Structure 1
Amino acid sequence: MKALIIIYFTLIPLILLPKFSSGQNLGYPFYKYFSSQDYQGGIQNWKITQSQDGLLYVANNFGLLEFDGTSWNKYSLESGTKCRDVFVDTDGKIYIAAQGDFGYYIPDELGKLTFVSLADSIKSEKRDFDEAWRVFKQNDRLLFCTFDDIFIFNEKGKLLDIVDPENDPDNFFLVNHQLYLNQGGQGLSIMENGSVKKTEIGDFFKNMNISGILEVNNNQLLISTLKNGIFLKNGRSISKWNSKNQNIFKASIINQMIRLKNGGIAIGTQNEGLYILNIRGEIEMQLNKGRGIENRTVLSLYEDIQGNLWLGHNNGISSVALNSPFQHLNEQTGLPGTGYDALLLRDTLYLGTNNGLYFKNITFENSTFQKVKNTSGQVYNIEQVHNTIVMGHHSGTFKIEDGEAEIMANIPGTWTFIDLNKHPKYVLQGNYKGLSLLEKSNDGLKFLHQIEGFEESSRVMEEDENGDIWMTHGYKGVYKITLSEDLKSVEVKYYGKDEGLPSNVLINVWRLNNNLIFSTERGLYEYSEKEDRFIKSSFLSDYFQKDEQFVSFAEDALGNIYFVSTNETGVLEKSTNGNYKKHTAVFNQLRNVLNDDLHNISTLEANKVLFAAKEGFIHFDNAIPKLQDINFDVIFTKVSILNSTDSIITYGRQMDGEKVTFNQLNTEIEIPFKENSIRIEYSAPYMNGQFENEYQFWLENNEYGYSNWSIRTAKEYTNLKEGTYIFHVRAKNIHGQLSNVATFEFTILPPWYRTNWAYGAYILIGLVSSVLIFLFFELRYKKKTEIITEEKEKEITRIDSELKTSEQKLEHLKNEKLKSEIKLKNKELATSTMHLINKNSFINSIKSNLNNISKRSKNQEVKHEISRVIQNIDKNISADNDWEHFSIHFDQVHGDFITRWQKDYPDLSPQEMKLSAYLRMNLSTKEIAHLLNISVRGVEIARYRLRKKLELERSDNLQEFILKY
């Protein structure tokens, strides 16, 4: 069953639309037109070519034009003559042929293109030619073709030969390294071995002007003439190429013919614009003034690296996106207004806009859209239902027949139609206010009645497998509508935020993969019949962000899903395993052209859809290759200083030996500090997508990373500090592909006062200044010192005199003070000594009394206790710490006697030290006995022992020795 369904959906479109599927063009390719005011040049453009860097060059009436993808530059010859032909060699040299001159352009020291004439190197008798019409490179030789002679140069610019044809040629063609000449009165000739001779078919073209020669196959040449048509040369025979179109070719006047990369032929004409032919000479497309291009005269043709076809007009230049999968159906195809809905029925395409319904038979070449009568105004929907073409219109429901619309239901605002599966004899339509019913009959469709019980605007509806109708309202929510048995009324159940939906607004229902999917402002949802509420849908979740908001869906017969969301537009291309491959990049060029009122995508057949646009429709062919992944670069077009009259640093180009390059070779660019404001201009010569390239830049050593993407092609930096900077820039084309990063390095020099020389001078000046200042202050100091010294000496003398008097007084006062202090100390010492004597005397008397009591007492316990008390008294007397207090005062009065005495006689016992001190105080033996708590006899014995330790002679007085010590 599935196989039958696939066969049905695959073969039926092929049966019904055989001619459309064979490559019929519904609209015109996207194009961009440049007027002579845009490129600031002359009106006629004789030749177009492209360099390996992607820059476009045009031979123009005012000289050589250059297009870098952003702006046009013009390089005029000094003589102001017209440029007739241009050729860019692989080394980057740009060779031109012009009126009265020929040569090449190379960059000067600043990178600006300058012209070097090769014609000036030939002898004067050959120099005076009128037109250099063509320039070719034949192997390693350069051929400059004039209407008199052919000048042959080598790559070094040296003249090798001059060929003088017998008859003056009027055109030249290089085909497979062979130079062909069209000679008036002689026909088609070739140049071989330095001479010109007629070809075997030369006489056939004797009275014709040849405008183009292409090699078709081996030994086959396609030869176009100005007014006599196109011929095919096969060996020695020649025949008309596609006889049925010969009259068209003759009347059009062919200016140029080129072979396209896809094998087709492009012909530029004088009167009928551009023809695109297949290899059989059948016309596949014609673009003419007001029908895809802006000018009917095409003087030159060139297919660029990205597959765009460039047309050099008699006034202006066009770029036509021939390799794009998009075509525009707009007013140039006879379709005015904003697109809303489309229907392809066999050979007829119907398109509904805000101006009415239009149709055309797509099998007729160059046919334009015609308006269906009685359809003026807003068209919302066009469908075929029950062999009837019905239109939903602002004024009601119409049926379309024989190019005319007839009212079926005079109910304002018909949005859509649903062929009811549960009630196959009826069709439900949605209106501004509610629903209506149509009945199928042998005569077609017939309006029955409006349905009661529902009056909401019903624009988006789908029927589920149970026969219920799901209607989504733009700002109210979802309605589940169940028709009554008599189809006259409905039961309605409302679903909103309380039933699982994220909100009540921006909800639409779609039939995708044979299921109903509800798009909301936060992702896709589906209805759960079991829970009777909405749940998040996992369908397509692997291909989009979590809460993507979709505005339109469509599914073709192959299962490809086309979508428009608030973030992107694209297609999910279905593979054989059921998965999808997402394509969005190529759709970026639609982001500003799609209809933003009621988004719609109409499927025509497998791989072909129409996107409703602000102007008509955009036809998308999914079978055409979507993107060509091309490696492209950003080039620097100008670097200049902002605050300088001689401001240009470079125009980007440089000579790398004999080759022209845009890579920076000199990285040691130094800019004075006073000119520290710089402007850097750049461009990416990527010619697809209407040249909507975006750029990111970053100045290393000044910024921390790349900027946001913008269309700016210049960046200015002011008041840069000294240092080395590297400017990085990269481009992103409209398809999201990134270019290689281009860099430009430069150095801002420090101001003169911050240079190394300045710092050296600062150090030298500082040193010299320091020495001078030192010498100055030293001299001044010496003078001051002498004065001060002299004054000081006087002052010292005066002070000495006063000081002597003061010292005497001070000495007297000091002595008096010392005497007072000694007297005071002696008094304190005497008091301390008397205290000790009295204390010890008192204690001894107590001790004596206790001894008497002990002797008289008969109680042994009392005797024992009294004995213990007496022992404690003896210990306290011997261990009395009053000695320390005494020694301090004693040393203060007697000049540290105890300290010196102990130092000189370290063997003296503490008892002997005390004895020595008491003797110095001139105390009596009895007083000493009380202080030492010994008997008078004991004092005598102690004196004797002290004499021995002091080693005194018998005649020496102990007390006198101690007093003199």
Structure 2
Amino acid sequence: MKEKNKVLFILLSLLMIGNFCHGQFIGYPFYKYYSSQDYHGGIQNWKITQSQDGLLYVANNFGLLEFNGTHWNKYSLESGTKCRDVLVDNDGKIYIAAQGDFGYYIPDRLGKLTFVSLADSIKGEKRDFDEAWRVFKQNDRLLFCTFDDIFIFNDSGELINTVNPENDPDNFFLVNHQLYLNQVEKGLSILENGEIKKTDIGDFFKDMTISGILEISNNQLLISTLKNGIFVKTGNSISIWNTENQNTYKSSNINQIIRLKSGEIAIGTQNEGLFILNSRGEIKMQLNKGRGIENRTVLSLYEDIQGNLWLGHNNGISSVALNSPFQHVNEQTGLPGTGYDALLLRDTLYLGTNNGLYYKDISSKNTTFKKVENASGQVYSIQQIHNSIIMGHHSGTYEVNGAEAIMLANIPGTWTCIDLKKYPKLVIQGNYKGLSLFKKSEEGLQFLYELEGFKESSRVMEEDEEGNIWMTHGYKGVYKITLSEDLRSVKTEYYGKEKGLPSNVLINVWRLNNNLIFSSERGLYEYSTSKDRFVKSSFLSDYFDENEQFVSFAEDALGNIYFVSINETGVLEKSTNGNYQKHTAVFNQLRNVLNDDLHNISTLEANKVLFAAKEGFIHFDNSIPKLQEINYNVIFTKVSILNSKDSIITYGRQMDGEKVTFKQINKKIEIPFSENSIRIEYSAPYMNGQFDNEYQYWLENNEEGYSNWSVRTSKEYTNLREGNYTFHVRAKNIHGQLSTVATFEFTILPPWYRTNWAYGTYFFIGLILSVLVFLFFELRYKKKTEIITEQKQKEITRIDSELKTSEQKLEHLKNEKLKSEIKLKNKELATSTMHLINKNSFINSIKSNLNSILKRSKNQEVKHEISRVIHNIDKNITADEDWEHFSIHFDQVHGDFIKRWQTDYPNLSPQEMKLSAYLRMNLSTKEIAHLLNISVRGVEIARYRLRKKLELERSDNLQEFILKY
């Protein structure tokens, strides 16, 4: 009978676990709260909306609030009145409705939002309205709704109609392009063709304040009221939407109701915070002060592009990550302390922290965890063993029975327990000082004794198919443990670095894919029985680096593997073909919240796990879409000069025609060199983990490439040189998705002394200076040259003087030499001439002697011979070779006189040539007669004939003519 009860217990447990679903409460969504001190505005936030660029706008008591993902900006009206409603049009204009005014914001020339009042275009007493409560865009018309009138404008800002309701409305709603008015005296009305008409169910809502209208189908409207609950209009009939919760809705005082992208309904209340309802009006979740949010009053609701739900409180603003697969189970759910282990059994969830063990029935509406008695202090594990719930605690081993913990063994520091396959009746327990043995019984577990032979702290253990227990020690290595035959002691075999492991530290063992996998300091390992050593595991090698260090694993019923490593956290989602799909990006938001003492992942059921966190646990639902790919941009929020009073260059926005854009239209931004230090501020309006956005920047023409990733949202550059610059910035959100690159172009003008005009002036001045320098140096050179020339001239004069002296001396010597030579020549010539004279004289004397002999001789024969000798003498006296020698020496002495004379007077006879030479020698007539062998009279006759041939005048002296020739 007891065995049947045991089987029934297990079946019921499995059945109840299978019924666990996301609709059952585990924890609260992640949220971020902004107080009025954070956004520097008033306490009340009446409306929230978002632009296409991702910026958030809030109608606040102090004006219009803007959130760019990093900073809040406030734009107050000149009158200082409250802003009641805000609408961002497709062209980027921001329309507001406020106390005593309405209009729109557009950027000025610097990009700062400035208010343009449309209410001021209203003439007469209509302008003096009290509250503009709502603004709507109906097709191409703008509707500004006050408590007195409805003003209708066209897109150009021209008033085209004014509608005056018979009774003052207290709220307005635009549903499917139809404007609904709530008039307390008349009920629900509509604006149709410029007239106010009561609806067919209008009377039902007399004396009620309608707070919201939603279209839930083509023929159904969901209508919420402030104090009367929620109704559904179907055709012409009205009914309560959810009878069970109607009183809750009445007492909560509903301020706003919206439909979420998931199809669920979000309700913001005055007294009870936020309700999330399904399509049947059933409450799926309630967030209230201290239970998921910081304020119980929710005045406004808005679901942003990323699926976050923004709440405008009576004092503050909250962002709730409804679309996240994570929920936080922490002290707001009644669970204090750091999470360590969890167990879901039937509808009861047990959570162990360093403060104790807590439990909760997740099927009930009670959202608070309760503490198990006698379980205070550090809890290490919570397990279902046999038909018992066993808690491993710092003070010992406990069995949990309902809301109470009963000690089973007073052995300090119970880490974990293992059902032994080889011994089905036994359970082995690891503790601070070794191992203990427990026995299963009908009453539960019973402590037997501590096992001998092993005293190491045994926190992580798994049993293999052969019944060996593998225990991994945090800093000593791995132990293979086997029970002795008498089950009183254990035998151990140590495995460390010498057995194939990379080191003896940071080793853990996990059961994955029904195999034992050992994580180490560098990668995953398996035990090889044949080699009796550890070898690298190929399991999961396609998804991780071979040296990845893991700290925690868990596998759910579907085979999905959840992991935490040093570098990343995520899930390997198992597909039908046995492969895995790795998801890590969505887990980045857990990087700073997980328990870093003893990492743990507890599987609750298929697709649902709990990560042990620094504060409680993080519940992860793998069935919820993990990440929505959303394109987002980086925007420039301010560009300013650092060293200037009037420092703002731009606030980022510009008008592109009639449209507001954050893209840089004016790219001719020129900054004087005196203001060459610039500060650029930027932000990425990505609202999921917005404070974890990281940025990379790069100033082209100043830096080589992008910087490292950083959370800083501004960058300063100082002392930039002149030139054209382009600043690039991109963002990476918490999920690792990159934004598009935003660029900002600007030019640093050169200083006046490096402008083109300056360079032209420099060139001109340089040219003049060059000329002046040239002239200076030219003048200096000339002077120096003149000095040098003068010095050289003096030197030359000196040298010339010396040279002349030398030349004179040389000339003198030469002349002396020539004179000597001439003297010698003349001497030779004279000698030759005297020789000729003497010879001829001698011959003439011989001739005279012979003539005397001839005259005296009687012998005819002798006379004949003497006559013949005399004849030969006469014949040859002038043909002597001495003339040739004479002429040579004569020309050398007298400058080739004979040659020149013969050339100029070729008709002279040889006798006349000789006469000329003798006259040149200034010989006397007698001497010439001897030389020519003629008489003195013959010389006179020869001189006469020579004068005639020279064609001299009578007055011309022949000898002077020849001497001068």
- How big is each residue's C-alpha offset from its partner over 1:538-576, in whole Å with a ceiling of 9 and x where there is no partner? 111111011000000000001000000001000000111
Q: For residue 808 of structure 2, give the secondary structure of its aligned residue in structure 1.
A: helix
Query: Would the aligned equivalents of 2:655 and 2:661 in 1 still touch at CA under 8 Å?
Result: yes
The aligned amino acid for 2:317 is I
Distance 2:275 2:549 in 1: 42
- How big is each residue's C-alpha offset from its partner over 1:176-233, in whole Å with a ceiling of 9 and x where there is no partner? 0000011121111111111112111111111011110000101211111111101101
- Provide the residue aligned with 2:335 in structure 1: 335
Q: For residue 470 of structure 2, give the secondary structure of its aligned residue in structure 1.
A: strand
- Provide the residue aligned with 2:500 in structure 1: 500
How far residue 421 of structure 1 moved from its aligned partner, in angstroms, is 0.8
1:592 and 2:584 correspond: no
- How big is each residue's C-alpha offset from its partner over 1:874-913, in whole Å with a ceiling of 9 and x where there is no partner? xxxxxxxxxxxxxxxxxxxxxxxxxxxxxxxxxxxxxxxx
1:364 and 2:360 correspond: no
* Structure-2 change in CA distance of 1:812 and 1:764 (3 Å): same
- Provide the residue aligned with 2:298 in structure 1: 298
Distance 1:810 1:123 in 2: 128
Q: For residue 244 of structure 1, give the secondary structure of its aligned residue in structure 2.
A: coil
Structure whose CA Rg is larger: 2
Distance 2:446 2:265 in 1: 52
How far residue 788 of structure 1 moved from its aligned partner, in angstroms, is 9.3
Distance 1:437 1:790 in 2: 125
The aligned amino acid for 2:413 is G
The aligned amino acid for 2:195 is S
5 Å-filtered alignment, 1:1-20, equals: 15-17=15-17, 19-20=19-20
- Provide the residue aligned with 2:583 in structure 1: 583
Q: For residue 25 of structure 2, give the secondary structure of its aligned residue in structure 1.
A: coil
Distance 1:509 1:387 in 2: 26
Q: Greater CA deviation, 455-464 or 801-810? A: 801-810
- Provide the residue aligned with 1:892 in structure 2: none
Q: For residue 15 of structure 1, give the secondary structure of its aligned residue in structure 2.
A: helix
Distance 1:817 1:696 in 2: 104
- Provide the residue aligned with 2:854 in structure 1: none
Distance 1:233 1:281 in 2: 14
1:86 and 2:86 correspond: yes
Q: Greater CA deviation, 675-684 or 810-819? A: 810-819
Distance 1:94 1:813 in 2: 120
Query: Would the aligned equivalents of 1:507 and 1:521 in 2 still touch at CA under 8 Å?
Result: yes
Distance 1:726 1:384 in 2: 63
- Provide the residue aligned with 2:879 in structure 1: none
Q: For residue 17 of structure 1, give the secondary structure of its aligned residue in structure 2.
A: helix
* Structure-2 change in CA distance of 1:387 and 1:799 (3 Å): closer
5 Å-filtered alignment, 1:399-414, equals: 399-414=399-414
* Structure-2 change in CA distance of 1:612 and 1:799 (3 Å): closer
How far residue 484 of structure 1 moved from its aligned partner, in angstroms, is 1.3
* Structure-2 change in CA distance of 1:772 and 1:464 (3 Å): closer
Query: Would the aligned equivalents of 1:19 and 1:363 in 2 still touch at CA under 8 Å?
Result: no
5 Å-filtered alignment, 1:254-653, equals: 254-653=254-653
Percent of counterpart pairs with the same letter?
83
- How big is each residue's C-alpha offset from its partner over 1:834-874, in whole Å with a ceiling of 9 and x where there is no partner? xxxxxxxxxxxxxxxxxxxxxxxxxxxxxxxxxxxxxxxxx
* Structure-2 change in CA distance of 1:777 and 1:702 (3 Å): closer
Distance 1:819 1:461 in 2: 140
Query: Would the aligned equivalents of 2:433 and 2:455 in 1 still touch at CA under 8 Å?
Result: yes
The aligned amino acid for 2:545 is Q
5 Å-filtered alignment, 1:848-927, equals: none
Distance 2:297 2:143 in 1: 28
- Provide the residue aligned with 1:663 in structure 2: 663
Q: For residue 161 of structure 2, give the secondary structure of its aligned residue in structure 1.
A: strand
Distance 1:335 1:674 in 2: 60
- Provide the residue aligned with 1:861 in structure 2: none
* Structure-2 change in CA distance of 1:784 and 1:739 (3 Å): closer
- TM value normalised by structure 2: 0.82
Query: Would the aligned equivalents of 1:17 and 1:347 in 2 still touch at CA under 8 Å?
Result: yes
* Structure-2 change in CA distance of 1:789 and 1:187 (3 Å): same
Distance 2:380 2:782 in 1: 110
- How big is each residue's C-alpha offset from its partner over 1:355-389, in whole Å with a ceiling of 9 and x where there is no partner? 00000000111331000001110000111111111
Q: For residue 20 of structure 2, give the secondary structure of its aligned residue in structure 1.
A: helix
Query: Would the aligned equivalents of 1:352 and 1:379 in 2 still touch at CA under 8 Å?
Result: yes
- Provide the residue aligned with 2:754 in structure 1: 754
Consecutive unaligned residues in structure 1, runs of 5 or more: 1-7, 821-965
Q: For residue 133 of structure 1, give the secondary structure of its aligned residue in structure 2.
A: strand
Query: Would the aligned equivalents of 1:286 and 1:366 in 2 still touch at CA under 8 Å?
Result: no
Distance 1:320 1:574 in 2: 30
* Structure-2 change in CA distance of 1:537 and 1:778 (3 Å): closer
5 Å-filtered alignment, 1:237-256, equals: 237-256=237-256
Distance 2:343 2:813 in 1: 135
* Structure-2 change in CA distance of 1:809 and 1:583 (3 Å): same
- How big is each residue's C-alpha offset from its partner over 1:411-444, in whole Å with a ceiling of 9 and x where there is no partner? 1110000011110011111110011111111111
How far residue 789 of structure 1 moved from its aligned partner, in angstroms, is 8.8
Distance 1:475 1:249 in 2: 58
Query: Would the aligned equivalents of 2:399 and 2:408 in 1 still touch at CA under 8 Å?
Result: yes
- Provide the residue aligned with 1:866 in structure 2: none
The aligned amino acid for 1:329 is V
* Structure-2 change in CA distance of 1:393 and 1:798 (3 Å): closer
Q: For residue 221 of structure 2, give the secondary structure of its aligned residue in structure 1.
A: strand
- Provide the residue aligned with 1:198 in structure 2: 198
Query: Would the aligned equivalents of 1:214 and 1:258 in 2 still touch at CA under 8 Å?
Result: yes
How far residue 785 of structure 1 moved from its aligned partner, in angstroms, is 8.5
How far residue 784 of structure 1 moved from its aligned partner, in angstroms, is 8.7
Distance 2:155 2:408 in 1: 78
* Structure-2 change in CA distance of 1:799 and 1:174 (3 Å): same
Q: Greater CA deviation, 685-694 or 220-229? A: 685-694
Q: For residue 208 of structure 2, give the secondary structure of its aligned residue in structure 1.
A: coil
- Provide the residue aligned with 2:917 in structure 1: none
- TM value normalised by structure 1: 0.82
- How big is each residue's C-alpha offset from its partner over 1:594-641, in whole Å with a ceiling of 9 and x where there is no partner? 000010000000000000000000000000000000011111111111
Q: Greater CA deviation, 810-819 or 435-444? A: 810-819
Query: Would the aligned equivalents of 1:299 and 1:311 in 2 still touch at CA under 8 Å?
Result: yes
Distance 1:310 1:587 in 2: 22
* Structure-2 change in CA distance of 1:160 and 1:424 (3 Å): same
* Structure-2 change in CA distance of 1:803 and 1:225 (3 Å): same
How far residue 754 of structure 1 moved from its aligned partner, in angstroms, is 1.2
Distance 1:595 1:350 in 2: 17
Query: Would the aligned equivalents of 1:397 and 1:407 in 2 still touch at CA under 8 Å?
Result: yes
- Provide the residue aligned with 1:840 in structure 2: none
Distance 1:228 1:601 in 2: 46
Distance 1:130 1:813 in 2: 137
The aligned amino acid for 1:380 is Y
- Provide the residue aligned with 2:140 in structure 1: 140
How far residue 770 of structure 1 moved from its aligned partner, in angstroms, is 3.9
- Provide the residue aligned with 2:179 in structure 1: 179
- Provide the residue aligned with 1:31 in structure 2: 31
How many residues align? The count is 812
Q: For residue 691 of structure 1, give the secondary structure of its aligned residue in structure 2.
A: helix
5 Å-filtered alignment, 1:31-180, equals: 31-180=31-180
* Structure-2 change in CA distance of 1:117 and 1:785 (3 Å): same
- Provide the residue aligned with 1:935 in structure 2: none
Q: For residue 631 of structure 2, give the secondary structure of its aligned residue in structure 1.
A: coil
Aligned CA-pair RMSD: 2.3
Q: For residue 663 of structure 1, give the secondary structure of its aligned residue in structure 2.
A: coil
The aligned amino acid for 2:749 is L
How far residue 109 of structure 1 moved from its aligned partner, in angstroms, is 0.5
Query: Would the aligned equivalents of 1:416 and 1:429 in 2 still touch at CA under 8 Å?
Result: yes
How far residue 15 of structure 1 moved from its aligned partner, in angstroms, is 2.2
- How big is each residue's C-alpha offset from its partner over 1:341-360, in whole Å with a ceiling of 9 and x where there is no partner? 00000010000000000000
